[in-house]
A and B are shown apart, each in its own frame.
Chain A
Amino acid sequence: MSEPRRIFTVDHAPSTLQAWQAPTQQAAFRQLLDAFSYPGRRVELNTEEDALVLVLATLLDGGVTLADPQGLVSADDQRRLGVMTVNPEQAQYVVMSGDHVPDFQPVLGTLESPEQGATLILKVDSLGGDDCLRLSGPGIEIETALSVSGIDPAWWALRSSWNGAFPLGIDLILVAGNQVVALPRTTRIQGAD
């Protein structure tokens, strides 16, 4: 017996396109806020759909620029985001997969306007609490342990050089499945060599 066809009635909220609903974005934003407030803390996004798309939909729209050098975002999603796509050297937001090494320098901001430093959103394989990396800095009481798989080690050296002159720098969001970790430019990372 084949599966009955699903029919959507007007008062049945479609289970797709949740990322574009206001309450979903509000909840996702609070998770991201937690991640940035307590760097290294793994937060869980509540979604049945692609968590990376949810992160993008929560943060991006026609007011910002995005670079997607590997084409990770579908044409449909790009259209829904309404974001302007530009080169990675100019973008306010860059989305990449962690196993690729970037061949560009992202926007680092200026002394007067450090907020222009880009946000890099990396898709990685998994995030854990094993003692691979030791994080400290604002938002961390003493130290936090973090392990990341599916990220090329070159990223850590690049981050270190890009963020070498505070307040200039970039801020990282790592997405693995439904889990997210944020590494703002203020987080000090040890054990990444």
Chain B
Amino acid sequence: MNRHYELPLDEAAYSFGFLDEFAKREIRRTILKAISIPGYQTPYASREMPMGRGFGTGGLQLTLALIGANDTLKVIDQGSDDSVNAVNLRHFVELTCPQVDTTERTSEATLIQSRHRIPEHPLSEQQILVLQVPYPDPLVVVEPSEARRKVMHGEGDYSRLLTKLYEDIVQFDEITISHRYPTRINGHYVIDPSPIPRYDVPQLHQSKALVLLGAGREKKIYAVPPYTNAAPLVFDDVPFRIEDFREASGARRACDRCGACDSFLDEMIADDGSKSWQCSDSDYCNEQLAVNASPAEVKA
């Protein structure tokens, strides 16, 4: 092989936001089309990023195309800012977007990138939520061919998906889909809302904030615009149920750390085998802890 060339000297001559302007513009065009066709999986070229496919490259590309010096970014994974994936992504943005602020407080963020949860705190019109998506297409369980799925989506033909849900009911007396619950947007496209729990699906409905969903490996961007209907698929006689955090007595469990009874809880097993429950949303937990603290504790 040719010996007469040098290694590149420019180690970090990246543009703001890592992606080149060409890539950003393509993502931006795709975002606007995605908003114009709510729930439609809009294809885009999806660049390789320095973290693996499956680690949030789709969400990250959205964030990098959106973010500017005036933004404050929050990154969470499983609801927590301290989860390794969130730490890694946040660090990457801090490296490549020098003037951007980052935060753990949902209320302070203008941009929130999240894996598998929607923050407990309802968002405002000044905020944008970016969700990381592994599987954009809810029809993939009934049809492996993308070409055929596109026709089904275009025609709004979800009969095979509904049949699959119904088969669940016949067998188990329940719809057994736990997360990634198929949800119809604006009365037409059914989306996979990403692996958020059913608990979070109602937050998509008539949200004040724009919700963008990015699948890097599958190369799709889709959107749930603000003030748009988002209806989980149900049958007349089988309602949509969120996760049940009730104890055997029927009382709703509370977070062992902050006492909140209205948040999605993480179940943890201690060394001695005992179970404890804690808010999945770490910022919400911190907030409730501050609210529920006694006046003496607050002063100290």
Listed in ascending order, the chain A residues whose CB lies under 8 Å from chain B are: 22-23, 25-27, 29-30, 32-33, 36-38, 58-64, 110-115, 117, 119, 138-141, 166-167, 171, 182, 184-186
B201 at the interface (CB under 8 A from A): no
Instruction: Report how far A29 CA is from B210 CA in the complex, Å.
Output: 15
Is B262 at the interface (CB under 8 A from chain A)? no
Q: Are B37 and A22 in contact (CB under 8 A)?
A: no
Q: Are A167 and B68 in contact (CB under 8 A)?
A: no
Q: Does B38 contact A (CB under 8 A)?
A: yes
Question: B225 contacts A115, CB within 8 Å?
Answer: no
The answer to whether A185 and B68 touch across the interface, beta carbons within 8 angstroms, is: no
B32 and A171 contacting across the interface, CB-CB below 8 Å: yes
A90 to B32, alpha carbons, bound, how many Å? 19
Pick from B26, B43, B150: contact of A63, CB under 8 Å = B26
Interface residues of B in 28-42 (CB under 8 A from A): 28-38, 40, 42
Pairs across A and B, CB under 8 Å, 19 listed = A22-B15, A22-B21, A23-B68, A26-B68, A30-B66, A33-B28, A33-B66, A36-B36, A58-B25, A63-B26, A112-B150, A112-B153, A113-B150, A114-B37, A114-B40, A115-B30, A171-B33, A184-B35, A185-B36
Cα A23 to Cα B186 with chains together (Å): 33
Contact across chains for B227 and A61 when beta carbons are under 8 A apart: no
Assess whether B158 is interfacial by the CB under 8 Å rule: no
Q: Is the CB of B225 within 8 A of A59?
A: no
How many angstroms between the C-alpha atoms of A188 and B189 in the bound complex? 18
Question: In the bound complex, do residue A114 and residue B32 qualify as a contact, i.e. CB atoms below 8 Å apart?
Answer: no
CB-nearest residue of chain A relative to B154?
A111
- Say yes or no for B151: interface residue by CB 8 A criterion: yes
Inter-chain contact A38/B16, CB cutoff 8 Å: no
Query: Ordered nearest first, which 4 A-B pairs have the shortest CB separation?
Result: A111-B154, A184-B36, A138-B228, A112-B150
Judge if B125 is at the interface, Cβ distance under 8 Å: yes
B28, A59: Cβ atoms closer than 8 Å: yes
B29 A64 Cβ-Cβ under 8 A = yes
B36 and A186 contact, CB distance less than 8 A: yes
CB B2 to nearest CB in A, in angstroms, measures 31
In the complex, the answer to whether A115 meets B186 with C-beta atoms within 8 Å is: no
Does A111 lie within 8 Å of B151, measured CB to CB?
A: yes
Which of the residues B21, B40, B66, B228 comes within 8 Å of A167, measured between beta carbons?
B40
Q: For the side of the interface on B, what is the size category? A: 35 or more
A49 nearest CB across to chain B (Å):
18
Give B35 Cβ to nearest chain A Cβ, in Å: 5
Say whether B226 contacts A38, CB under 8 Å.
yes
**Are A139 and B151 in contact, CB atoms less than 8 angstroms apart?**
no
B22 part of interface (Cβ distance < 8 Å):
yes
| Chain B contacts for A38, CB-based, 8 A | 125, 226
The answer to whether B236 has its CB under 8 Å from any CB of chain A is: no
Contact B32 A119 (CB under 8 A): yes
Q: In the complex, A27→B71 CA distance in Å?
A: 11
For the complex, give the distance between the alpha carbons of A23 and B70 in Å: 11
Check A185–B37 contact: CB distance below 8 A. Answer: yes
B151: chain A residues within 8 A (beta carbon):
111-112
With an 8 A cutoff between CB atoms, is B248 at the interface?
no
Residues of A within 8 A of B35 (CB): 33, 36-37, 139, 184
Within B183-199, the residues touching A (CB, 8 Å) are: 186, 188-189
For the complex, what is the distance from the CA of A60 to the CA of B32, rounded to whole Å?
A: 13
The residue in chain B whose Cβ has the minimal distance to the Cβ of A26 is: B68
Interface flags for B215-240 (1: CB within 8 Å of A; 0: not) read: 00000000001111000000000000
A residues in contact with B155, CB < 8 Å = 111
**A59: nearest residue on chain B (CB-CB)?**
B29
The residue on A at minimum CB distance from B70 is: A27
Which of the residues A27, A59, A64, A140 comes within 8 Å of B68, measured between beta carbons? A27
